[in-house]
Structures are given as C-alpha cells and as structure tokens.
Structure 1
Amino acid sequence: MKRIVTGILAHVDAGKTTLSEAILYATGQLRKPGRVDHGDAFLDTNAMERARGITIFTEPAIIRTGNTAITLLDTPGHVDFSAETERTIRVLDYAILVISGTDGIQGHTETLWRLLARYNIPTIIFINKMDAPGASKTHVLDQLKHRFGDGCIDFTTMTGTTTDAAVGTTTGTTPAVMEEIAMQSEPAMNEYLETEHVGSDTIRTMIERRELFPCFFGSALKMEGITEFINGFETYTQEPQYGKEFGARVYKISHDSQGNRLTWLKTTGGELHAKALLNGDTWSEKADQVRVYSGAKYTTVESVPAGTICAVTGLTNTHPGEGLGNEQSAKNPILQPVLTYTLLPGTNDTHKCLTALRELEDEDPLLHVAWHPRLQEIHLQLMGAIQLEIIQQMMHDRFGLDVTFGPGAILYKETITQPIEGAGHFEPLRHYAEAHILLEPLPAGSGIQYATTCPEDTLDRNWQRLIITHLKEREHLGTLTGSPITDIRLTLVTGRSHLKHTEGGDFRQATYRAIRQGLMEARAGVPTEASAFDVAQRFAGDDTDHGVDGAVASQGGDKTGEGDAASAETPQCRIKGMGNCRLLEPWYRFRLEVPQDMLGRAMSDVQRMSGSFETPQTDGTGDGEYAILNGTAPVSEMQDYAMDVNAYTHGRGHLSCVFAGYQPCHNAEEVVERENYNPEADLDNTPDSVFCAHGAGYPVKWYKVPEFMHLDYAWSGMRAGEGEAAGE
C-alpha cells in the first residue's frame, strides 16, 4: 500500500473537523460520524476541544481505502493556534484545504495558502457547505482562480471515471476541463495536443509540483461529494520517494495522561526502531516506546517505516522543527507571537506556576515564558486572547492552578543599525574572564545568530564553546525599553582567561556584560557618531548637555589599580535619543474589503493608523461594488479595527490580517518615553564590568570599560584614533 500523510486545514468554522469525520465514516473507520457541536468528534480528543467546539491540538487518524493508507491530521482552524498548524504543515505529503462555500476565501485561508506555498506542499481543495443558501460554485471557483491562480480547477467530473491502463489517461471528463488542465504546464499541453487527453501520471506530477490544485465540491455534514473526493484523492496522489538512511522530523511535543513526554515525528527515511539511539544537535537519547496513534488510542510497535507519523517516549531534549538522522532542521517559523501578558498567580506559589508554564512552553514553541527576577513576575508572549484562555484552562485542569492574567500589551523588540563591539570584564577576587562580542545587524526576520572568529591560540576552544552557550542560553534585552533583541549576529571576536582563576560562571558574567555594554554604546552612537573615547569624555564631569542627563563621573583611575575613582558614586547616566538602536514592533499585512462608497473612510483610517496601502482594486469575482485595500499597518493600531469595520459598513465589510514581521516602530520615541526604562538600573542585565585592584574587585561603568579592559578591540571598526569617529 502507498502511504500518504495529509492534513486538513481551514479557516475557523469552514467545516474542517466535520470533513474529517465524514471521511472516517465513508471509509469505514467510524460507525457514526461525530459532530463538533455535539462534542463527539473522533479527532477532538481533548475535553477543552469538546467543550468549546474548536480544534486546539493536531491529532492523527489512520485511514485505509483501496490500496492507500492515509494518516489524516486534523489541525486547528483558529488563528491563535496557527503555530500548531504551521508545525504540522512541515510533515505533510499533501494538504487538504477546506473552504466554506458561503464565506469563500477568508483572511486565515490566505495565511494557510502562503504557508503551504512556503513549505511547497501539494494541495487539494474541498469547498464545503455547498448545500447552504447562498453557496455559489461559480463564484467560489472564480475567487480561487483570482486569488490562488488558474491551477485551481474543478475536478468534479474527474471522479467516478475509469483509467485506461494501456495509455495512462483518464476518461469521462469534459473536453473543457481537460483543456484547462493542459494549460497549466508545457508537458501537459504537448500530451494533450497529441492525444486530446492528459494522463493520470502527468496530472499526479503536476499536483506534486503545485502546478495544479484539484477542487472538489460537497457538503461534509450531509455526506455529499465525500465519496468522489476520496476517490479523487486516492487516484491523484503518489507516495514520496524515501531514502534508506534514517531520518525524521519532529513536529509536536505533548504529554500523555500519565505525564510521559511524547515527541511526535514523521519518519522521512529508513526505519525507526524502539530502543534506538537518536542523536540531536547537542544530545543523544534512546527512544523507549514507539506509538502509532489513531484518535485517542495508540498501538505500541517495534518499528515503523519511512512515511509514518508516530509518537516516541524517552526523549527529553527534542523541539518542534528539529531534524533527526539525516533530516535537516526546519527554517524559522513565519508566525510569531505579538502580545505579552503578565501572570497574576493569586494565592498560588509563583515558582510552581513557572514550572507548569515551562511544561506548556515545551509543547508550544510560540508560547514564550519569561521570568523577571527584578519584578518577580512571569510574562507570557503568545498569539492572542483565545490562546490565553486555553492556557488558563490547562493550568487549572492539568496542574490545579487557578491563575489570571493582566491586560495584554504589544510585544516590542529591539535591534541595531550599525556594528558595535562590546566588552565585558569580570574579575572579582580569584575570578577572571574577559569577552569581546561583536554585534552586527541582520536583515529583518533573521532572529539571533551566533558565531566565533576568535583564534584558538588567543582563547581555548572549550572556553569559546562555553561563551557560545552563554550567548544562546538566555533572552538578551535591549536598552530602549528592555525588550528582547532580534536580527543581530553575536560573534565572539576575542577573549582572555586565567589559567588558575577562571571558572565557567566567570565567562557567563563577562559575556552578558559584553552584549549589554555593546548595546549601550550603540545607543550612545558609537562608533559612527562618536568614538568610545568620546563617550567616556561625555560622562567625565562635563556639565554641558551632550545627550545625557546630568552625567557626572569622577576622573582618575587607570588600568594599573587606581580604581577607587572609577567606582565612585555617580548619578544615573540616562542617554537621550536612540543612537544606533532601533525599536521594532509587529506589523500586520491586511486585506480590507468595503463597499465602494466607503473606500474613502477606509483609506483615511489606514493613514490615521500609520499604515500604508497599495492602489485600491475592485473585487474581480463580483460586480465591482466592493473595493479592496491591501497594505500594512502596526498591530498596535489595527488589532481592534475589525470591530470598527463591521460597525461602519453595517456588517458588509471584511478585514483579514496576517503577521507581516517586525518593522521599525511608528511611534518609537513615544513608546520609549512611556516605558521609561533605565538600562543602568536593571541590575540583572548590567552593562558595567568588574575589575580587580589591591586584592579587591571594583565596578567600572560601561562607558569607562574601554579605558580599563585588558584586550584591545578586535573589530577594525572600533580601532579608530581616540577622539575620532570610527566611520570617518
């Protein structure tokens, strides 16, 4: 039998789970199809899913029909759980995209389409609810061609037909449909001109290459069009070719009812055996059990072949997207959390809450949990309010913790615009470490990258590995609002240890301080606006306003031990402006459909929200009475705009938004002033260093570190003559 892994994806309420139940019933896997609204759907195994009537977690079902074994994955439809859907897409051979016949293509449908295109997943489309009033086959098909391309073709007449094995062609189709298929690729056109048919093998290849997207119509609730869809799926899909060498991709982490950690994966080569030793980037562990699930039930097996979805116990270090064996790890996900909430533990122990949230974070990589020691608070970064409600319910059900959350806020991030070398020195008595980290800006969406260019004769390889570990082990904060940094490459360029006094924790302190000191210098304008020497002079007792508030520091002190002056009490040195630091905020890419006579109001609103838009268009599938605006706008301005659209269009307008990444903040100065973050008062992220003289350690302010550090700058951009800007 050929093995196919497929997933059902859709905008919420398009009938995705209902279609899953219909397929399971039609293929004899269920005696009676379940219903979401009745709370008895086969693939909604969680109590919260049954109670809320929505799919939250991806669950598998095994289907056997004809000569095909299908693993069907039912994915969440709500946008708050789209991260779970994106992780699942990575392991699919084919995707089934469900669209409502009455609602057509909606906002989240377009997000799913982009994800399928990014991961190059062949897609078959099922248009559901065709029995409902207002459902128009012609209108939906025109909309699909207009939005997704001419490869969306009605395959209704392609089902229930016979295949001529001698010539490999499908008979029983209308000439118009066959000609439409032939138009989608040159080989298909050549075959059509010769035989007036396009063979099944050619069609399968076109679908696999995403040149063709078969469309089927029906009603899952009334079992209409289901048999034709299953026949078409079986006919026009083909099993991928797998290698003999073992490979697997992790797509999900969960815990069973006994608390066992489950690593869900798809084998992409060879065989996976129970008790096999699996290796990750930095770990090596044994797979205790291999389970094959169908719904809530599972079978424990000794091995599974390539192309199988299974859950493995015994692995503690895996993460979604990770590749095992010869499989490469996945790229960074497109979807990112844009909101942050503060946990209000009530009477519960805060650290017990943190432990529970860490377990949930392990399962969902887009749930970021951060503990702030200075504030003694737990902050959560996630996708939206519905996800927050689910987390609150899971905290109660799984851990017996009744917690609440503070109001949500926008999750800002910070980056830099120019390279800068930061220096960190940590030398209390009988300790020693110095690290220099080069911070370089990266293109938007790159995240944080790590590297080392430090020669091993300068710093041993073991110390360098340790410093890289310290770079990766925590979320480093910027100096504008204390938000996480992103789109920066952190490179170890030089460092120094002591044969007798250096311990591992010393480099942790030196590394953290180096990053923070570099960010402070970036904010002060080093090296393009002032050299490190100039910055030190700014804080050396000059009463003139040089971009700082009343900065005063005692002069004196040197590298030979006169350190008392450097550690003298000084007022806080608050830098004005942002220098070479930039505040970033999440932006939406939006599609706004409004009646033509309300276009002016819509355009004015977008401009008021600091957004931008392309030339307005008219709906190409209708009579032109609707205008369409495509553009981008900050999440902070547009997150509640859908209610305004519904109000001023009296329910006739429609707004769809998708995450468009982080871009420069439209009101950065206002946000920085509102947050009133003092980077020097954040002792958990101090930019200052510690030096030693006369048998005692003493602190040195970040802007004086270049005068006291034991190593010269390694990056050429920081080696300009004293008093001269490095860029001049």
Structure 2
Amino acid sequence: FGARVYKITMAENHTRLTHVKITGGILHAKQKLGEDEKVDQIRLYHGSKFNMVEEAYPGMVVALKGLENFEAGDGLGFEKTQKQPMLNAYMDYRLVYPKGTDLLTLMATCREISEEDPALEMDIQNETGQIDVHIMGEMQMEVFQKRILDRCGVSVGFSTGRILYHETIGETVKGAGHFEPLRHYAEVQVRLDPLERGKGILIVNKTSSDQLSFNWQNAILSALSTKKHRGVLTGSELTDVKITLIAGKGHLKHTEGGDFRQAASRAVRQALMKTSSILLEPYVRFELTVPNESLSKALFDLESKKAQFEIQDSGDSRSIIVGRGCIRLLAHYQNEVNAYSKGQGRFSFQPDGYDVCQDTDEIVTQIGYDPEMDMRNPSSSVFCANGSGFTVTWDKADEYMDIVEEKVESTLAEHRTYRIEEDELKRIFERSTSNNRNFNKQSNPIKKKPKEEKPKAIKHLPACLVVDGYNMIFSWDVFKDYKEEELAISREKLLDILFNYQAFTGEKMIVVFDGYKVKDNLGTIYS
C-alpha cells in the first residue's frame, strides 16, 4: 500500500481530514498506519457530499478521517515523504488580540490553519496564551488575519517582528536519554554530526534487530523526526545536524508508547549540552543603487553593518553595489538610503539562507535563554530506585545509563629476530649431539623417601548455575510464538523468568548468550 498526502482540511465539528491519492495497493477502513495512527473512515467526496467506502484502490483520491499527525507532502505506506522546498520565514510576530477574546477558540483556530498550511508555522503556548506566528511578508499576514476573522470572528493584529534564529553544532557528539519513572522504561543513545548549511535535520538508523526490535526502532525514529528540536543557546530551532540512532533499550512489561519519545528527546538534548553550539541568523543578497555623490556613505554603512560587497557597476551618475549580509542589520536599510540619497537610491534584497551569526554573545545575552530551565525540552534523565523515580542532570546521567558502550581493545604480539652465523650453529649442534654419547651407561638409582600424603580439606564453593540462553529459547514451548528475528524480545522474556527463579533460590546464576555465528562477537553474559 502507498499513498501521497496533498491537502489537510477541517470538516464538521472540527474533524480533521487528510486528503490522499492512492498510488499502490489497497487501503482498508480501520487499517493502522504506523504506531499510533488508524484510518477511521474512507470518504469519497463529490462536491460537498461524500460516500463512505470500505476500501480505496490505486488511482482513487479520497479523504481519510482519524489521522492526526500527517501533513501535506507526507507519504503513506511505501511512499516516502518528499516535501517540496518552501521559502522560510525569517521573522516571528506575536499575535495581538482584543481583551475578552476566547483564547481556547482562538488557539484551536490557529492550529487548524497551521495544519492546513504547513508553510505557516506557529508556536502556541497554552500556559501563557502567547501565539507566535512565522510569517514571510505583509501579504501572508493579511491573508492570515482574514482567515481568523472569518472562522472565529476575532480581529487580530501583530507586534513588532523578531528575527528567527537557528542553531547547529560544531563537532560530533554522543548523547543518551533515560526515561524510567515507576512502571515506565526507555533508553536511547544517539550521535550528532554537523552538516553543511541548508541540509536541515537528517535522521539515520544504525541499530540492528538483534539489539532492538523493529517496532521500538520505528518508535524512536518517529519521535526523532516529528520533534522540533531546540538549541541550547537561545532555544531556537536546531538545523544542519545528522541524528544517528546508535542504541536503544526497552522493557517488555514497562515500556509504553510515549517512553521512547521522552528518552529520544532527552538524548538529543544531552548531546547538545555536551558540545559547542553555533548560532545561525538569516542572510540576504542585496543590490544597492545610489548616486555617485552618495557612494562613499553607502560603502561606509555597508562596512559598519558587516556586509560583504563589491561595486558591480560605476557609471557617470550612478553606482551599483551587490553583496551579502545579515537581515538583522539590513532589514530597514532602505529608510537610511532614502535619507542620505534624497530619495534617489534603491535597496533591494532576497533571502540567502542561514549562516553564522557575527554577534553571537550579544544576541545570546539579549535573549537570556536558560536551557536547564526549559521544562518543555529537558536535558536531564529520569531513573527509578526503591519504587520511585528521580531526576539526574545531564552532566551526571551517563553514570546511571544501562547501555554500556563496548570498547574493542587490540593486542599486539612482539617477536624478536635473531641472526646466528653458520660456525656458531655447528658448535651448537656438536654440543647438543655429544651430550648423550654414554647413554648406555647404567646409572645408580637414587633412593627417595616416600612422601607422606597429608589429608587436605575440601573447600566447598558457593553453587553457581550457568544457563545457555539460546538453547533454552529454542527448546522451550513458551518462546515458539516469537519469530527468530525477535530474539531481543525472547532474551528479555527469558531473563525475567530466570531472575524470578534466582530470587526464589538465592543462588548465583550466569546466563550466557553466545555469539558464535557472528564474526568477532564474544556474546553477552548476564549475572
């Protein structure tokens, strides 16, 4: 089965509809998509009316009810997500609304509009009622105002815009997250690598089914891809980073659906706290046309604004300057150009991606973000002891982790080389062969007194039971329901049984999972 999402709409009673085109296979009503999504209804629309069908076939365009997390451009089934590149908003505006406005209705309307238009990003804080909107220009601002007025009857405005910063990392780092309150369990380890500018976030999986089951792998990868990760300098969105899943661990009884989401987020956050972060700000490419008598003033201004530029054309009356600089310092430069050129100058620019901020310390101090106080993006881990959970800060959490990184130690053998001349070899052979010339001569036997045997006390060591894990898994009927590729689940189940037996007997026990079929694998031992 495969399908492509092309639109999101809201139907009666704020019902979310995901419009898709079936590209292969058959989609059934009540079919599950992924871990948490299920198709409640398949609607075939004819204008404003629709018919519910039980199955959708290739080529059909249908609306699916019940899906909550898919966006336009996402792929379902074997279709991969291939979102078209969109212009990024560089400014953030806070929504201003009249006193007495129903905030619940306003926030619900904003969420609906954001789901229908993925280019319109919002940050809605339920605790404070603040709604921040990422908008690209005045036209999009007017359209957004009209849509809110039509849907909930509220006339909104916007505050002064703020620059949208991004963050990335400067070096490779590993991080781990553990989430284990009472009756929950999940642990995730990731590696973060810096990418080139403009690459965004790349999620890679480097675990195997022997280490972690496919269902748990998919849960972690889904959590990493859907989460909007925040940096630790200003709390801005993380970008240009490759996140690699290198290890994970769950529990058959205690791991719930959201546990891996918590552990994965904390693992990324801990890695960011360990490494050096880089603040990025939006840049633009500009073209400035000024009269020749204003050229020196223009060059001085651009240099003071830390822009890179060159004079492209210098005519008899006008000069054209092109270059690149940060939008933070050039956004309102047209007003200055009008002032010193007496209205004869023209300044235009277009977005040119993000690059390193030249005033990082000043911006970080101005924003005043404290990463350890951000409760929505915690860097600490939660562990369990004596029936209750406790929090460990990011800098000490590695000491409590269950997954230990294996280090392969190599040993080098040293062989000395000797060189012996031929004459020396002859003398050695003559000595060795002449030692036994009188081997027929009888020798007088030496009488020795027999040694008296003294009784020795036998020391009884504590009993120790050694268990071959895989032999028990493949011989017990209780494990026949598990497939061979789910050995990790079978191992966890066997360990639970043996731990209970050990608690009953009180004897020492060693469980060995041999790795003879895997090259350079010494196996796993639990004691």
Place the TM-score, normalised by the shorter chain, in its bin.
0.5 to 0.7
Contact 1:247 1:325 survives alignment (8 Å): yes
Answer yes or no: is 1:598 the counterpart of 2:351: no
1:270-307 deviation per Cα after TM superposition (whole angstroms, max 9, x unaligned): 99xxx99999998878462366xxxxxx999xxxxxxx
Q: Matched residues in 1 for 2:29 and 2:300: separation?
A: 62
Answer yes or no: is 1:288 the counterpart of 2:33: no
Q: Matched residues in 1 for 2:185 and 2:77: separation?
A: 40
> What's the counterpart of residue 285 of structure 2?
589
Q: 1:627 aligns with which of 319, 324, 333?
A: 319
Q: Which structure 2 residues correspond to residues 657-672 of structure 1 after superposition, within 5 A? A: 657-672=349-364
Q: Matched residues in 2 for 1:362 and 1:436: separation?
A: 31
Q: Matched residues in 2 for 1:696 and 1:264: separation?
A: 45
Tell me by how many angstroms 1:247 deviates.
9.4
Q: Which structure 2 residues correspond to residues 195-206 of structure 1 after superposition, within 5 A? A: none
Q: 1:688 aligns with which of 380, 398, 417?
A: 380
> What's the counterpart of residue 697 of structure 1?
389
Tell me by how many angstroms 1:627 deviates.
1.8
1:93-142 deviation per Cα after TM superposition (whole angstroms, max 9, x unaligned): xxxxxxxxxxxxxxxxxxxxxxxxxxxxxxxxxxxxxxxxxxxxxxxxxx
Q: Matched residues in 1 for 2:128 and 2:147: separation?
A: 25
- Please give the secondary structure, in 2, of the residue aligned with 1:672: helix
Contact 1:261 1:313 survives alignment (8 Å): no
Q: Matched residues in 1 for 2:250 and 2:309: separation?
A: 55
Q: Matched residues in 2 for 1:650 and 1:331: separation?
A: 45
With over 3 angstroms needed to count, the CA separation of the structure-2 counterparts of 1:424 and 1:256, relative to structure 1, is: closer
- Please give the secondary structure, in 1, of the residue aligned with 2:396: helix
Q: Which structure 2 residues correspond to residues 78-157 of structure 1 after superposition, within 5 A? A: none
1:468-523 deviation per Cα after TM superposition (whole angstroms, max 9, x unaligned): 1211233121110111111112221101112222112221221111111111111x
Answer yes or no: is 1:398 the counterpart of 2:151: yes
With over 3 angstroms needed to count, the CA separation of the structure-2 counterparts of 1:600 and 1:286, relative to structure 1, is: farther
Q: Matched residues in 1 for 2:102 and 2:172: separation?
A: 43
- Please give the secondary structure, in 2, of the residue aligned with 1:445: coil
Counterpart amino acid of residue 394 in structure 2: W
Q: Which moved more, 1:459-468 or 1:391-400?
A: 391-400
- Please give the secondary structure, in 1, of the residue aligned with 2:176: strand
With over 3 angstroms needed to count, the CA separation of the structure-2 counterparts of 1:665 and 1:459, relative to structure 1, is: same
Contact 2:4 2:73 survives alignment (8 Å): no
> What's the counterpart of residue 163 of structure 2?
410
Answer yes or no: is 1:636 the counterpart of 2:337: no
Contact 2:90 2:164 survives alignment (8 Å): yes
Q: Matched residues in 2 for 1:695 and 1:702: separation?
A: 22
Q: 2:91 aligns with which of 312, 317, 339?
A: 339
- Please give the secondary structure, in 2, of the residue aligned with 1:657: strand
With over 3 angstroms needed to count, the CA separation of the structure-2 counterparts of 1:416 and 1:262, relative to structure 1, is: same
Q: Matched residues in 1 for 2:150 and 2:309: separation?
A: 45
> What's the counterpart of residue 115 of structure 2?
362
Tell me by how many angstroms 1:327 deviates.
8.6
1:543-597 deviation per Cα after TM superposition (whole angstroms, max 9, x unaligned): xxxxxxxxxxxxxxxxxxxxxxxxxxxxxxxxxxxxx201111111112222233
Contact 1:589 1:631 survives alignment (8 Å): yes
Contact 1:287 1:314 survives alignment (8 Å): yes
> What's the counterpart of residue 422 of structure 2?
none
TM-score by length of 1: 0.48
- Please give the secondary structure, in 1, of the residue aligned with 2:193: strand
Q: Matched residues in 2 for 1:326 and 1:626: separation?
A: 58
- Please give the secondary structure, in 2, of the residue aligned with 1:512: helix
> What's the counterpart of residue 470 of structure 1?
223
TM-score by length of 2: 0.65
* Equivalent residue pairs, number: 389
With over 3 angstroms needed to count, the CA separation of the structure-2 counterparts of 1:502 and 1:404, relative to structure 1, is: same
Same amino acid, percent of matched pairs: 37
- Please give the secondary structure, in 2, of the residue aligned with 1:614: strand
1:391-431 deviation per Cα after TM superposition (whole angstroms, max 9, x unaligned): 22321222222333332211111110111111111112222
Please provide the CA RMSD for this pair. Answer: 3.8
Q: Which structure 2 residues correspond to residues 244-323 of structure 1 after superposition, within 5 A? A: 250=6, 286=42, 288-289=44-45, 319-321=71-73
Tell me by how many angstroms 1:705 deviates.
0.9
Tell me by how many angstroms 1:614 deviates.
3.0
Q: Matched residues in 2 for 1:359 and 1:683: separation?
A: 26
Tell me by how many angstroms 1:671 deviates.
0.6
- Please give the secondary structure, in 1, of the residue aligned with 2:119: coil
Counterpart amino acid of residue 397 in structure 1: D
Q: Which structure 2 residues correspond to residues 316-715 of structure 1 after superposition, within 5 A? A: 319-321=71-73, 330=82, 332-345=84-97, 346-372=99-125, 375-522=128-275, 580-618=276-314, 625-713=317-405
Q: Matched residues in 2 for 1:714 and 1:402: separation?
A: 60
Q: Matched residues in 1 for 2:348 and 2:331: separation?
A: 11
> What's the counterpart of residue 463 of structure 2?
none
- Please give the secondary structure, in 2, of the residue aligned with 1:683: coil
1:357-411 deviation per Cα after TM superposition (whole angstroms, max 9, x unaligned): 1121123222111123565522211213443343223212222223333322111
Counterpart amino acid of residue 288 in structure 1: L
> What's the counterpart of residue 433 of structure 2?
none
Q: Which runs of 5+ in 2 are unaligned?
A: 51-59, 409-527
Q: Matched residues in 1 for 2:406 and 2:163: separation?
A: 38
With over 3 angstroms needed to count, the CA separation of the structure-2 counterparts of 1:652 and 1:396, relative to structure 1, is: same
Q: Which runs of 5+ in 1 are unaligned?
A: 1-245, 292-297, 301-309, 523-579, 717-728
Counterpart amino acid of residue 407 in structure 1: T
Q: Matched residues in 2 for 1:493 and 1:373: separation?
A: 35
With over 3 angstroms needed to count, the CA separation of the structure-2 counterparts of 1:609 and 1:393, relative to structure 1, is: same
The higher radius of gyration belongs to 2
With over 3 angstroms needed to count, the CA separation of the structure-2 counterparts of 1:280 and 1:587, relative to structure 1, is: farther
Counterpart amino acid of residue 626 in structure 1: R
Q: Matched residues in 2 for 1:432 and 1:256: separation?
A: 38
Q: Which structure 2 residues correspond to residues 36-75 of structure 1 after superposition, within 5 A? A: none
Tell me by how many angstroms 1:321 deviates.
4.3
